[in-house]
Chain A
Amino acid sequence: MNRLERPEIRLGAAEEALIGLLREAGADTAAERLRTDGLPTRRVEAYHFTDLKALIREVPATLAARAEPGKGVRIDGTAAIRLVNGRLVASDPAPAGVEVGTADADKPLGEAIPDVLAAALAPETAKIRITRDLEQPLHISIETEGAAAVSATRADIEVADGVAGTIVLTLSGSDAAHFVNAAVSVRLGAGARVTFVQIDEQGAAVRQIVHTDFRLAADASLRALTVNRGASLSRADLSARFDGAGAHADFTGLNLIGADQHADISLNVSHAVPDTTSQELFKSVVRGHAKAVFQGKIVVERGAQKTDAKMMAQGLILTEGAQVNHKPELEIFADDVVCGHGATCGELDAESLFYLMSRGIPRAEAESMLIEAFVAELIEPIEAQPVRALLAGLVAQWLGTAARAEAA
C-alpha cells in the first residue's frame, strides 16, 4: 500500500533535545532546519544503511562545557594539539612549524544535517596551519570529557605548498554516552604530501558523526586511513575534491567492530580537473551482531579527462549475525578515464585456516594471523612508525579481546 510522504515529520526525543541546544546557542536557522527535516532516515539515500533517526533515539540534554584534557588518547613520539569539548586547549605549546589559533565557528562543511549541527554547536573553529615538514607526526586529539554531553568540534587544517608530514586525528574521551559531532577540513597546498590517519578511539557508549573534507591542489598527494572501532555508532563521512592536476590520493579505511556496534564510512570523491588519480581500499572486519557499512562514490566531472580511479571494498564476517554492506558508485561525465570498482565479502578462508592449523597453529591463533594479514594491507603503507605501532597495537588489542571472549 502506497502512503504519501507526510509534510510534517514526527520529531523524536533526540531531535527535540538538539533543537533545544541549537536555540540555546542562538542558532535558530539550524534549529528550524532540524525541525523541518529531522535526523536523516533510511529514505535519504546517503543514510540508507545508517538511519540516524533510528540509531540516535536520545542524546544528552547538555552541551559539553569547557574542560581540561582527561582520558584522551596519548601517542608516544608525536606532538599533540588537543581540542577538548570543542575548544582548543591552549596549554600545550605548538610544535615547530605548526601555527595554531581559533576563529568563530565557521559555516558548515556541507549541506547535510550533521554538518549544520557541527557548525552551529561548535564553540569555535580551531585553525591549524602546517608551514614546515613535520619532524614527528602531528596528533590532533578531539576529546569529549566529563559527564555525558553533546559535543561539537570544528577544525580547519591547512598544509602549506610543498610541505610533508603525517597527521593522526583521534576521537576519544571519557566513557560517558556522549553524542559527538565533528567537522574537519583538510587543505593540501600544491605539492603537499600528507598521510592522514583518523581513528575512532571512543568508549562503547559514544555515538559519533565525523565529517572530514579534503581538498587537494595541484601535485598534492594524500594517503588517508579512517578507522572505526570504538564507538557504538560511528559514521565517518569523507569528502574529497581534486582541484589541481597531478594530484593523487589513496583513500583507505577500516571498520573493526563487534557486539552491537554500527560503523559506517561514506566517501565522496570528486575528480574536478583533468589528470588526477585516486585509489580506494576499504575493509571491514565484523563479529557479534555488528554492522559495517562502506559507501564510496567517485565522481569524474565534465572535462576531468585522464582521471584514474580504482575502488575496492572487502568485508570479513567472523560470526553469523554480523553484517557488511557495500555500496560503490561511479558517476562519470568525461570519456577518457579509467575507473573501476569491486567488492568482496566472506568468512575467513577455510583453505588458509586449514593450512595454518595443519602446521600446528591452534585455530584461534590461525584466525588472528589471517585477520592481521587482512588488515596489514592498510597499515603497512603508513610510514610514520609511532602511528603504525598504534594501529598494529589496536588491531592486536581487538584480536586479544576476541580470544578472551572465546575462552570465557
Chain B
Amino acid sequence: MSEKLLEIKDLHVTVEDREILKGVDLSVGGGEVHAIMGRNGSGKSTLAHALAGREGYEVTGGAVLLGGRDLLAMEPDERAVAGLFLAFQYPTEIPGVATMTFLRSALNAQRKARGEAELSTPDFLRHVREAAGRLKIDADMLKRALNVGFSGGEKKRTEILQMAVFEPTLCVMDETDSGLDIDALKTVAEGVNAMRAPDRGFVVITHYQRLLNHIVPDFVHVFADGRIVESGGQELALELESKGYAAFDEKAA
C-alpha cells in the first residue's frame, strides 16, 4: 500500500517567463486521497496542467515520476496511457465530436497503446451506461457534441464519467467543485468515492473545505506562492476554513 504512485520532487514551472511553481514536493501512494488547498493564483491549477503536459507550461527544474516512470518526458496522450487523468476545471467544448464517439476513441487509443484489445461494442456500451447511471448522466447527453451546451454541472459530471470509463491510476481533479450546487456536488463525490481503490490515487485541488466533507482526504496540503507550505490530515482543512489562508502566507514568504 505504501508504494508511491506519484512522486513530485522540487518541481519548478514557468509560464510566460514567470515562475509559478517554486519547488513542489508531493508523494501520493496507492489508495490515498490528497487535497491541495490554496487561494486563487497560488499555483494549484498550474500544478495540474504541468502534470498533464499542457503546452506553455515549461518545467525548469525537478522531476515527476508516475509509477516510477518519468512523466515529464511524455506527450500528453502518453501520460494518459501511463494512467494519469486530469479532470479539467473548465472542460473544453468540442463542436462536431459526439461525446460517445470521443469516449470510445479515447478508451480504444489508450487500450491500443497499452497493447490491450479494444472493447467490444456491447462491453463498451455497458461500461459507459453503468458509469453514466451512477453519475445521473442522461444517455441522450452522450449523443451530443462533447461539452457543447452542457451546463457547468453537466460538464463536471462528464469529466467524472470519463474518469470512470478510462480507469486511470492517478486522478487529478482541478476545482471540480467549482460551479456545482450541493446535489451535483454529492453526485460527483459519490462517483469519485466509488472509484477509490488500493491501486488508485487522487489529487483533489479545491478552494473550499466543502468538497472534502464528501470526498474525505487522507492528507491535506496548503499551497501558497508556488509551493506546499503546510501538510497535515483532514483537520488541516477545517483549520483553514476557520483561520483563512492569510495565516499561512507568512510561511510562503
Q: A residues bordering B, Cβ < 8 Å?
A: 350-352, 354-363, 365-366, 369-370, 372-374, 376-377
Judge if B120 is at the interface, Cβ distance under 8 Å: no
A288 to B91 alpha-carbon distance, docked (Å): 32
The interface residues of chain A lying within 8 Å CB-to-CB of B109 are 359-362, 365
The interface residues of chain A lying within 8 Å CB-to-CB of B106 are 356, 359-361
CB<8 Å pairs between A and B, sample of 23: A351-B92, A352-B94, A354-B52, A355-B88, A357-B75, A357-B77, A358-B52, A358-B53, A358-B76, A358-B77, A359-B106, A359-B162, A359-B166, A360-B80, A360-B113, A361-B109, A369-B102, A369-B105, A370-B97, A373-B94, A373-B95, A374-B96, A377-B96
Q: When the two chains form their complex, are residues A362 and B92 in contact, meaning their CB atoms are under 8 A apart?
A: no
A283 CB, nearest partner CB in chain B, Å: 11
CB < 8 Å neighbour of A355 from B79, B94, B113: B94
A236 to B52 alpha-carbon distance, docked (Å): 45
Contacts across chains A and B counted by CB atoms under 8 Å: 75
Within 8 A of A (CB), among B80-136: 80-81, 86, 88, 91-92, 94-97, 102, 105-107, 109-110, 113
A376 to B97 alpha-carbon distance, docked (Å): 9
Q: B residues bordering A, Cβ < 8 Å?
A: 52-55, 75-77, 79-81, 86, 88, 91-92, 94-97, 102, 105-107, 109-110, 113, 145, 162, 166
The interface residues of chain B lying within 8 Å CB-to-CB of A366 are 77
A376 to B81 alpha-carbon distance, docked (Å): 28
The interface residues of chain B lying within 8 Å CB-to-CB of A372 are 96
B148 CB, nearest partner CB in chain A, Å: 10
Q: When the two chains form their complex, are residues B92 and A352 in contact, meaning their CB atoms are under 8 A apart?
A: yes
Question: For A350, A357, A363, A374, which residue has the most chain B Cβ atoms within 10 angstroms?
Answer: A357
The interface residues of chain A lying within 8 Å CB-to-CB of B91 are 355
A365 to B77 alpha-carbon distance, docked (Å): 11
The interface residues of chain A lying within 8 Å CB-to-CB of B110 are 359-360
A290 to B169 alpha-carbon distance, docked (Å): 44
Question: For B79, B88, B92, which residue has the most chain A Cβ atoms within 10 angstroms?
Answer: B92
The interface residues of chain B lying within 8 Å CB-to-CB of A360 are 77, 80-81, 106-107, 109-110, 113, 166
A16 to B77 alpha-carbon distance, docked (Å): 57
B93 CB, nearest partner CB in chain A, Å: 8
A351 to B105 alpha-carbon distance, docked (Å): 18
A360 to B81 alpha-carbon distance, docked (Å): 6
A373 to B96 alpha-carbon distance, docked (Å): 4
A216 CB, nearest partner CB in chain B, Å: 29
A55 to B64 alpha-carbon distance, docked (Å): 55
The interface residues of chain A lying within 8 Å CB-to-CB of B52 are 354, 358
Q: When the two chains form their complex, are residues B75 and A376 in contact, meaning their CB atoms are under 8 A apart?
A: no
A361 to B162 alpha-carbon distance, docked (Å): 13
Q: When the two chains form their complex, are residues B80 and A359 in contact, meaning their CB atoms are under 8 A apart?
A: yes
A310 to B77 alpha-carbon distance, docked (Å): 39
The interface residues of chain A lying within 8 Å CB-to-CB of B113 are 360, 362
The interface residues of chain B lying within 8 Å CB-to-CB of A363 are 75, 77
Which residue of the partner chain A has the closest CB to B146?
A355
Can you add 5 more A-B contacts, CB < 8 Å, to A360-B77, A365-B109, A370-B94? A357-B76, A357-B77, A363-B75, A365-B105, A374-B96
Which residue of the partner chain A has the closest CB to B147?
A355
A376 to B54 alpha-carbon distance, docked (Å): 27
**Closest A-B pairs by Cβ, 8 of them:** A373-B96, A360-B80, A360-B110, A359-B106, A355-B92, A357-B76, A376-B96, A357-B77
A141 CB, nearest partner CB in chain B, Å: 30
The interface residues of chain B lying within 8 Å CB-to-CB of A355 are 88, 91-92, 94
CB < 8 Å neighbour of A354 from B54, B97, B107, B162: B54
A340 to B88 alpha-carbon distance, docked (Å): 36
Q: When the two chains form their complex, are residues A361 and B105 in contact, meaning their CB atoms are under 8 A apart?
A: yes
CB < 8 Å neighbour of A358 from B79, B95, B107: B79
Which residue of the partner chain A has the closest CB to B79?
A358
A343 CB, nearest partner CB in chain B, Å: 18
The interface residues of chain B lying within 8 Å CB-to-CB of A356 are 94, 102, 106
A335 CB, nearest partner CB in chain B, Å: 35
A357 to B109 alpha-carbon distance, docked (Å): 10
A357 CB, nearest partner CB in chain B, Å: 4
The interface residues of chain B lying within 8 Å CB-to-CB of A359 are 77, 80, 102, 106, 109-110, 162, 166
The interface residues of chain B lying within 8 Å CB-to-CB of A365 are 105, 109
Which residue of the partner chain A has the closest CB to B101?
A369
Question: For A360, A365, A373, A377, which residue has the most chain B Cβ atoms within 10 angstroms?
Answer: A360
The interface residues of chain A lying within 8 Å CB-to-CB of B55 are 350, 354
A48 to B58 alpha-carbon distance, docked (Å): 44
B24 CB, nearest partner CB in chain A, Å: 20
The interface residues of chain A lying within 8 Å CB-to-CB of B97 are 369-370, 373
